[in-house]
Amino acid sequence: MKVLFLDQSGKLGGAELCLADIAEHFKQTSLVGVFDEGTFPQYLRQLEIPVKIFNKQTLQVQKASSLLAGLKSLNQLIPLAAAIAQCSRQYDLIYANTQKALVVGALSSLLSRRPLVYHLHDIVSPEHFSRINRRIIITLANRAVLIIANSQASRDAFIQAGGRADCVHVVYNGFRSEDYANSIDSAAQRQLRSEVLSLDSNQSDDTSFIVGHFSRLSPWKGQHVLIEALQYCPENVTALLVGDALFGEQDYVQQLRQQVKSLKLENRVKFLGFRSDIPQLMSACDLVAHTSTAPEPFGRVIVEAMLCGTPVVAAAAGGAIELVDPGRTGWLTPPGDAKALAEVITTCQNQPDWANVVADQAKAQAVRRFNLETVNADIARLLGNIKQQKR
Ligand code: UDP
Ligand code: GLC
């Protein structure tokens, strides 16, 4: 199977990490086309996945603004689509992984008559997209022969927005559980905790309860909810904010720092920026909190925490509801509800044995449910069906 994967982003977000795992499976015969240089193509090269940068200038469109703005710059879009169409003639199909990749991919597919596949990583709802963007996504995605939705929630929102139900298949993200389990021994874990808590070497009394938050800094990822929750938690509860503002959300970063200052939480909130040692950091945390204020399409961080054996609390909306069985494999709290989040944090702190039992159950289930090999086999089967239909 020869696949031309397309992704608009040069940055390494969840959709790109998911694509890298799929593309690795097809790397002998496939190519990943990216519209911008950056950490994502660098990551692909490290994995020896063939990658090609199709355009050095990023299409300047924010998610909340109109995709039309991108379409208007036709003098940029048409040569890009023509170049991709030309390249796609050597492949069996075009696999678009993001919305702008869908726009360009749909046009290229029209030109080269290669079938279009869309991997839907988003919830196409008013909370995430303007009306015009929803309409563009649905119209173009309905031209695809196959849509792979990253959760039932993403699938349902797509259909509710007018998407075709007959082409959509839900495939969860897959993970290599061995990358997460036992990624760090207990001595290294103690060392990492001291480092992130900025304890000096003669301060061996780490009595902190560390709540980790692993997401790009963005208003809908809700880091502010965790900061707010800290006020209602015991003094030794500390929050680690791991992640960067990937898409220029500098105002939100300022807002978070201001919030920390005005609540006098400077000693209890640590901004770690973007990190590549996620399994180690998650394993060193006592609890992982996911706090998105809008429905999360899937939520890789929730599964990653489970695979590390760290208890996880998530915001009860979107894909997170499919991932967490409350009280059995984690906890769910209403999105934006800082007091409810504080209650779960305090319960996990006071009842570590229970929290560990829940985390163990979550880990056992996640290893089975989100196995990368199974996911890649499912995707290969779905793509294989398209090739057969063409014959
Ligand atoms: N992540 C990372 N470094 C960071 C913060 C996050 O590698 O500093 C990873 C995280 O482990 C996860 C992904 O980024 O695999 C985020 O994916 P998720 O589906 O949770 O959210 P997204 O940002 O894609 O909406
Ligand atoms: C997107 C979504 C996230 C999901 C990821 C992988 O980035 O925002 O929820 O986990 O794609 O499918």
- φ, ψ for residue 372 (rounded to 5)? -60, -40
* pLDDT under 70: residue ranges of the chain: 56-74, 199-204, 388, 390-391
Domains (range + CATH), the chain: 3-174+371-390 (3.40.50.2000), 177-369 (3.40.50.2000)
Tell how far the Cα of 379 is from the centroid of ligand 2, in angstroms. Answer: 17
Taking the C-alpha atoms of residue 299 and residue 301, their distance in angstroms, rounded to an integer, is 5
**Cβ of 299 less than 6 Å from ligand 2:** yes
288, 177, 43, 212: CA torsion to nearest 10: 10
**Cβ of 36 less than 6 Å from ligand 1:** no
2: Cα separation from own chain's centroid: 25
188: Cα separation from own chain's centroid: 27
Taking the C-alpha atoms of residue 145 and residue 201, their distance in angstroms, rounded to an integer, is 59
Q: For residue 364, what are its two tokens?
A: 């056992």
C-beta of residue 312 within 8 angstroms of C-beta of residue 330: yes
Report pLDDT for 163.
Answer: 98
Q: What is the three-class DSSP state of 73?
A: coil
Whole-structure pTM value: 0.95
Ligand 2: which of 125, 169, 300, 322 to mutate, most ligand atoms within 8 Å of CB? 300
Report pLDDT for 58.
Answer: 45
Ligand 2: which of 9, 18, 278 to mutate, most ligand atoms within 8 Å of CB? 18
C-beta of residue 180 within 8 angstroms of C-beta of residue 282: yes
Q: pLDDT tens digits for 72-91? A: 666 778 889 999 999 999 99
Tell which atom from ligand 2 comes closest to the C-alpha of 150: 12
**Cβ of 63 less than 6 Å from ligand 1:** no
By DSSP bridging, strand 31-34 and strand 51-53 are: parallel
Report pLDDT for 21.
Answer: 98
Q: In what order do the strands lie in the sheet with 31-34?
A: 51-53, 31-34, 3-7, 93-96, 116-120, 146-149, 168-170
Report pLDDT for 252.
Answer: 97
Q: Which residues contact 60 (CB under 8 A, 6 or more apart)?
A: 69, 70, 73
- The enclosing H or E element of 63 equals none
Report CA Rg, the chain.
Answer: 21
The DSSP line for 122-149 is S--STTTS-HHHHHHHHHHHTT-SEEEE
